[in-house]
C-alpha cells in the first residue's frame, strides 16, 4: 500500500480524508466512501496504488474528446473505486466492485504508452481516476517528462488543493455533469456545486470538455438542460458539450433515452453553446462546424478528417476555433 495524500489525523486513531468534498471521517481499519482509501493505525493508505484493472488503446473521441487531437489514439488505463454511487453507472464493475487487477509501476505504464504505435499519451478513465489520485499524479508527472499527453475522464468531485496540484500535468479533461443538485442527492451522492467549481477552476489551465448523460424522466427536462448549458456558457460558450444517450445499466432499469429527447436537448443546449454533440445515437452527424459560418471543420465518419481548420482558424471565414491539433 501507498500512503495517501490530503488527509489529517482526527484523534483516537481516526483520520479525515481531504481529497474530495465527501470529507470522510475514517475509523481504524475502515475505508472511505470511495472504497479505496483505508485507515491503518492512524495512517491513511491508498489501496489501489499501482493496481491496474484495464489497459487499452482507444480513439480520443471515445473519451469523449472531440477538440483534442482529432483522430488520434490514447492509451486508457484504469483501476477501481469511485467517490460517487451513480445508480446508472456504465462502468460499475470497475467503480463499485473490485475487479481482477495487475500490479504495475509508474515506469511500466509509461513504457506501455510509449510502445503503442501512434499513441499520444495516457487517459485515466473507466473508473474514477481522482480516487486513484496518488498513482495518477506520479504517472502524469513522468508522462509529461516523456512528452506524453495526460487526459482525465472524471466526475470532477475533488477539493481545490489536490486539483490545483494535479492540473499542471493534465493536457485535457472530460468532466461529467450528472444533473441538477436534486439529481445528485437522489441518484449519485455528491453535489453539483463541487463539480461546477472543478470545471471553473480547470478552465484556462487545461483543455476541457463536458459530458451530460441524459436519462428519461430524471435529468432530461427542458429547464434542466437549459440551466446546465446556460451555466456552462457562463464559463465559456466554446466548451464542447457531449450529450450522451442513456441505456439501462447497473441498478437502473428504465428504458433507454428516446432519440427525439436527445435531439431536443441538443437544440436547447445550442442556444448557449457553440459545440454540442450527441453520443450513443447511431447515424447522427457528429462533425464539428464553424460557429460563425457553419462550414464543416472536422469530419467524423469511419475515419476522422480535419477539413476546414488551419492555424487554429476556420479556413472559410477566419473564426478562431477551440481545437487542439
* Domain ranges for the chain: 2-46, 51-286, 287-325
Residue-level pLDDT, tens digit, the chain, 325 residues: 899 999 999 999 999 999 999 999 999 999 999 999 999 999 999 999 999 999 999 999 999 999 999 999 999 999 999 999 999 999 999 999 989 999 999 999 999 999 999 999 999 999 999 999 999 999 999 999 999 999 999 999 999 999 999 999 999 999 999 999 999 999 999 999 999 999 999 999 999 999 999 999 999 999 999 999 999 999 999 999 999 999 999 999 999 999 999 999 999 999 999 999 999 998 899 999 999 999 999 999 878 899 999 999 999 999 999 999 9
DSSP string, 213-252: EE-TTTS-SHHHHHHHHHHHHHH-TTS-EEEEE---BTTB
Predicted confidence at residue 302, as pLDDT, reads 79
**201: which DSSP letter?**
H
Predicted confidence at residue 22, as pLDDT, reads 97
| Three-class secondary structure of residue 103 per DSSP | strand
CA distance 240 to 260: 21
Helix residue ranges per DSSP H, 88-243: 92-95, 106-115, 133-145, 160-166, 181-183, 192-202, 222-235
Q: Which residues contact 264 (CB under 8 A, 6 or more apart)?
A: 222
Residue with cell 472530460: 174
Q: Provide the mean pLDDT of the chain.
A: 97
CA distance 307 to 314: 9
Q: What is the CATH number of domain 51-286?
A: 3.20.20.70
CA distance 151 to 232: 20
| Number of other residues whose CB lies within 10 A of the CB of residue 285 | 11
Amino acid at each position: 500500500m501507498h500512503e495517501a495524500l490530503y488527509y489529517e489525523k482526527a484523534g483516537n486513531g481516526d483520520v479525515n480524508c481531504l481529497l474530495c468534498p465527501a470529507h470522510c471521517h475514517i475509523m481504524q481499519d475502515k475505508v472511505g466512501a470511495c472504497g479505496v482509501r483505508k485507515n491503518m493505525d492512524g495512517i491513511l493508505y491508498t489501496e489501489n496504488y499501482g493496481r491496474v484493472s484495464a489497459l487499452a488503446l482507444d480513439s480520443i473521441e471515445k473519451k469523449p474528446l472531440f477538440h483534442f487531437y482529432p483522430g488520434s489514439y490514447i492509451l486508457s488505463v484504469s483501476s477501481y473505486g469511485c467517490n460517487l454511487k451513480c445508480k446508472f453507472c456504465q462502468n460499475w464493475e470497475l467503480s463499485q466492485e473490485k475487479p481482477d487487477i495487475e500490479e504495475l509501476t509508474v515506469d511500466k505504464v509509461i513504457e506501455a504508452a510509449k510502445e503503442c504505435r501512434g499513441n499520444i499519451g495516457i487517459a485515466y478513465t473507466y473508473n474514477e481516476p481522482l480516487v486513484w489520485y496518488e498513482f495518477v499524479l506520479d504517472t502524469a508527472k513522468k508522462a509529461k517528462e516523456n512528452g506524453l499527453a495526460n487526459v482525465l475522464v472524471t466526475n470532477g468531485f475533488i477539493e481545490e488543493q489536490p486539483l490545483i496540484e494535479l492540473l499542471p500535468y493534465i493536457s485535457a479533461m472530460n468532466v461529467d455533469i450528472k444533473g441538477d443538485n436534486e439529481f445528485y442527492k437522489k441518484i449519485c451522492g455528491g453535489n453539483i456545486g463541487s463539480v461546477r467549481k472543478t470545471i471553473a477552476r480547470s478552465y484556462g489551465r487545461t483543455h476541457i470538455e463536458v459530458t451530460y448523460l441524459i436519462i428519461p424522466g430524471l435529468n432530461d427536462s427542458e429547464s434542466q438542460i437549459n440551466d446546465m448549458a446556460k451555466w456552462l456558457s457562463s464559463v465559456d460558450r466554446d466548451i464542447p458539450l457531449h450529450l450522451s444517450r442513456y441505456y439501462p445499466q447497473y441498478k437502473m432499469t428504465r428504458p433507454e433515452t428516446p432519440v427525439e429527447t436527445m435531439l431536443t436537448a441538443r437544440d436547447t443546449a445550442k442556444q448557449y453553446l457553440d459545440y454540442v454533440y450527441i453520443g450513443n445515437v447511431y447515424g447522427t452527424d457528429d462533425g464539428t462546424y464553424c460557429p460563425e459560418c457553419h462550414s464543416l471543420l472536422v469530419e467524423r465518419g469511419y475515419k476522422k478528417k480535419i477539413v476546414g481548420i488551419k492555424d487554429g482558424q476556420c479556413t472559410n471565414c477566419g473564426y478562431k476555433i477551440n481545437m487542439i491539433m
